[in-house]
Structure 1
Amino acid sequence: MIDISGKYLYTIRSANGVLVENLQIYGKSRAEADQKIRQMYWRCEILSCIPVADLSVRAPHLKMQWVRP
């Protein structure tokens, strides 16, 4: 079974006015990630949300070696 969850990068303003940036949340969808944010930061205002590509999963690891001619 393949887990198709993504990572979302949030900037929010908490209920007491504190700006929280670079908050990374995993979720199967944007709606699920928003729900997790609202559970942790009750009455927060979501200022921005950017989906983040997890390059470690999508790109193969390449190993370089020097070879003498």
Structure 2
Amino acid sequence: MAKRSGKYLYSIRSANGVLVENLQVYGKSRAEADEKIRQMYWRCEILSCKLVADLDTRAPNLKMQWVRPAPRAAG
């Protein structure tokens, strides 16, 4: 398992057989994310997991500036 921090998307089958999809969990690694899922859903079966947001590769630092809207003409 690779050590990649980020957001992981899971599909699981809970202990009582219910299919739960689109679970999103943050973790420093896939193993940590799996552990968090197993803490929330005891005795679950992990059907699929994929990395959806990699936190190791950060977006470029963007500078944002608020621009005041132009005044409306009376009329």
The normalised TM-score by structure 1 is 0.72
2:41 — aligned with what? 41
Q: Give 1:20 deviation, angstroms.
A: 0.3
1:28 — aligned with what? 28
**Cα deviation per residue 1:8-63 (whole Å; 9 max; x = unaligned)?**
00000000000000000000000000000000000000000010025xx84456x8
> Which structure 1 residue ranges, 5 or more long, are not aligned?
64-69
The normalised TM-score by structure 2 is 0.67
> Which structure 2 residue ranges, 5 or more long, are not aligned?
65-75
Cα RMSD between the aligned structures?
2.3
Greater helix proportion:
1
Match of 2:36, as an amino acid? Answer: K
Percent identity at matched positions? 84
Q: Give 1:7 deviation, angstroms.
A: 0.2
Q: Give 1:5 deviation, angstroms.
A: 3.0
2:72 — aligned with what? none
Larger Rg belongs to? 2
